[in-house]
């Protein structure tokens, strides 16, 4: 009887735990989804306000038309796309090549080079030396000032190196015996086997470039070179200024445009993720197991 009672009570406890789990995650999903649905609704609502309405009261697509036709919004969007594409490609190139160099333990000066990389994770020059460096290189008011500084991350290099170490060393040794050069091994063997790492790290790098804000504020003073995130901040501030004025129609439309810009800024990562999803689960455990 005591064993039956223990089994019944254990089953009841597990059932209660599962029900609480389901309720908790439903509530958590609602907390995350409701604000997004509110922003989507307001981006199509010409009378967007602060009330919690999940359906537009006056449907319009004028805000999205303005984002993709108005030069003041389209130009920053194109700049964000350009810097993200070029920056991600450059960062992946530097990350993979640097990680492959650090993988060569028999290379002269390997330990010194590894420590030099590692020290930069702990100590950095800071904001003022970085600004003086960009200014000294005559990169101020150029998009390269926002592409080059984030183009290499030691954390990404270490992750990529850890993944390279998990690859079968016998393949590289066999290729070397067959006469393949180190660069040929990198191109023909290492990179094709590193798709999970490239996808996961590339997604992180792309999001980092897409959401870039500080470098554009620091190194860019020409309004024509601002990216979409800086422009979105200006729209939010202008919306706040208009809210304090008497132009009610302009205020309502500015809220609609503001929400449309928020949705547009979310679209590229949402588009990129499904293509990287099949590699992402493997990529997030980079170097976790070495065989």
- pLDDT tens digits for range 129-177: 888 888 888 989 999 999 998 888 888 888 888 888 888 888 888 888 8
Contact (CB, 8 A) for 99 and 161:
yes
pLDDT band at 244 (very low <50, low <70, confident <90, very high): very low
Domain range summary for the chain, segments of one domain joined by +:
71-283
What integer pLDDT is reported at residue 284 of this predicted model? 53
179: alpha, beta or left, given left = phi > 0 and alpha = psi -120 to 50? left
* Token duo for residue 206: 């792309």
Mean pLDDT comparison of 57-66, 175-184, 200-209, highest-scoring range: 200-209
- Burial status of residue 233 (CB atoms within 10 A of its CB: 0-12, 13-18, 19 or more): middle
| DSSP 8-state assignment for residue 190 | I
Fold topology of 71-283: MetI-like fold (1.10.3720)
pLDDT band at 251 (very low <50, low <70, confident <90, very high): very low
* Token duo for residue 72: 């003041």
Query: What is the value of pTM for the model shown?
Result: 0.78
């Amino acid at each position: 009887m005591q064993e039956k009672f223990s089994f019944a009570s254990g089953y009841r406890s597990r059932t209660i735990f599962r029900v609480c789990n389901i309720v908790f995650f439903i509530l958590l999903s609602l907390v995350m989804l409701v604000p997004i649905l509110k922003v989507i609704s307001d981006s199509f609502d010409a009378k967007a306000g602060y009330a919690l309405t999940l359906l537009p009261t006056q449907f319009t697509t004028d805000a999205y038309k303005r984002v993709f036709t108005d030069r003041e919004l389209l130009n920053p969007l194109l700049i964000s796309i350009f810097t993200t594409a070029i920056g991600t490609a450059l960062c992946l190139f530097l990350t993979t090549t640097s990680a492959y160099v650090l993988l060569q333990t028999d290379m002269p000066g390997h330990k010194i080079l590894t420590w030099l990389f590692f020290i930069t994770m702990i100590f950095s020059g800071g904001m003022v030396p970085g600004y003086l460096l960009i200014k000294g290189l005559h990169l101020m008011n150029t998009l390269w000032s926002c592409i080059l500084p984030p183009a290499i991350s030691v954390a990404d290099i270490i992750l990529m190196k850890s993944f390279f170490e998990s690859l079968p060393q016998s393949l590289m040794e066999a290729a070397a015996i067959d006469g393949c050069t180190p660069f040929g091994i990198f191109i023909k063997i290492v990179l094709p086997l590193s798709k999970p790492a490239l996808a996961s790290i590339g997604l992180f790098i792309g999001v980092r470039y897409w959401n870039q804000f500080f470098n554009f504020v620091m190194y860019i003073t020409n309004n024509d070179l601002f990216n979409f995130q800086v422009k979105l901040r200006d729209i939010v501030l202008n919306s706040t200024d208009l809210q304090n004025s008497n132009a009610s129609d302009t205020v309502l439309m500015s809220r609609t445009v503001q929400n449309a810009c928020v949705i547009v800024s979310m679209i590229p990562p949402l588009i990129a993720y499904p293509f990287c999803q099949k590699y992402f689960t493997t990529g997030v455990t980079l170097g976790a197991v070495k065989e």
